[in-house]
Amino acid sequence: MNREEKTKLLYVTAGSITEADKIATRLVEEKLVACANILGTSTAIYQWEGKLTKEKGVILILKTTAKLVQKSVKRIIGLHSYECPAVIVLDIQDGNKEFLSWINNVTNPNYEG
């Protein structure tokens, strides 16, 4: 089945590789996202509850379809340990058409989790 739909990139931060792996694996297994990339350790510097905070973390990049964005975001928040996890959705404007088609073909818009 070839469904042509807009594709999206989700940028997520996680507290550890273990947490990123748990989130990524679950979303791929549930076909909410086609694939995930877990990037190495990063440093986050931010203000939280009036304090300057510096923490080590991991960047997670997920590829999905527009139809699955809200379900994916909800699922990420439910699996995440942070009180307010960073989950940002970006449009994929263009790219390898074969890869973008693959994203559409391996995700499941009927997921009810």
Task: Burial-class residue 27 by CB neighbours within 10 Å (0-12, 13-18, 19+).
Answer: buried
- What pLDDT was estimated at residue 65? 96
Q: Answer for the pair 106, 31: CB distance below 8 angstroms, yes or no.
A: yes
pTM above 0.85, yes or no: yes
Q: What whole-number distance in Å separates Cα of residue 48 and Cα of residue 21?
A: 25
pLDDT (tens, 9 = 90+) of the chain, 113 residues, equals 345 579 999 999 999 999 999 999 999 999 999 999 999 899 999 999 999 999 999 999 999 999 999 999 999 999 999 999 999 999 999 999 999 999 999 998 776 66
- What pLDDT was estimated at residue 112? 65
Q: Which domains does the chain have, with CATH numbers?
A: 13-106 (3.30.70.120)
* Residue 42 bridge partners (DSSP): 57
